[in-house]
Amino acid sequence: MPAPSEASASIRFARPDDAAAILSLITELAEFEHLTHLLVATEETLRAALADDLPRVECLVAEYEGKVVAYAMYFHNFSSFLTQRGLYLEDLYVSPAARRMGVASAMLRKLAAIAVERQCARFEWTVLDWNQSAIDFYENIGATVMPDWRVVRMTGEALTKLAGGPG
């Protein structure tokens, strides 16, 4: 059989009714990755995920003496394997004047509580690999630093160029 041409495949936005077909592909992917033991998605959870929505970014602030002294900006990410959202912490920052008050820990606990309350499977963020004191702190509260995943990023001209290529 000759290789089918690129033009034969059409790309469209998935609908909730695609849940079964997509779950079947997710299962293939999990098999390829030897990760089927982590795959708990069902057609129903995937269907709901494809239909649902949530705010795109949220932010907690901490106030001290009437002033906002810390913020935690976060959003929901999503695991296809779990068909479940997670809570992704983009930034957590405490102003120097408000340090050593336990604000960062209190915000992490609040974020964890939000994650649990919203049935998020994961609470995730990133750390610089040379920031050992942060890594020690995170491991101490039970988080795991994933050794083998790397973030890939495309911006600017490369992104525009890819977007404008023949479709």
CA 113 to chain centre: 17
Sign of CA dihedral 153, 156, 161, 167: positive
Chain residues 56-75 in contact with a second copy, contact rule CB under 8 A = 56-65, 67-71, 73, 75
Nearest approach, Cβ of residue 145 and a second copy (Å): 5
Give which of 71, 133, 144 is closest to 107, Cα–Cα: 71
**Is residue 4 involved in binding a second copy (CB under 8 A)?**
yes
Q: List the one residue from 37, 109, 119, 136 that touches a second copy (CB under 8 A).
A: 109
Alpha carbons 125 and 157: distance in angstroms, whole number: 27
Q: List the one residue from 35, 40, 42, 102 that touches a second copy (CB under 8 A).
A: 102
CA 60 to chain centre: 18
Give which of 117, 118, 39 is closest to 83, Cα–Cα: 39
**Is residue 45 involved in binding a second copy (CB under 8 A)?**
no
**Is residue 11 involved in binding a second copy (CB under 8 A)?**
yes
Nearest approach, Cβ of residue 160 and a second copy (Å): 6
Nearest approach, Cβ of residue 94 and a second copy (Å): 8
Which residues share a beta bridge with 79? 84
Active site residue 93: no
**Is residue 78 involved in binding a second copy (CB under 8 A)?**
yes
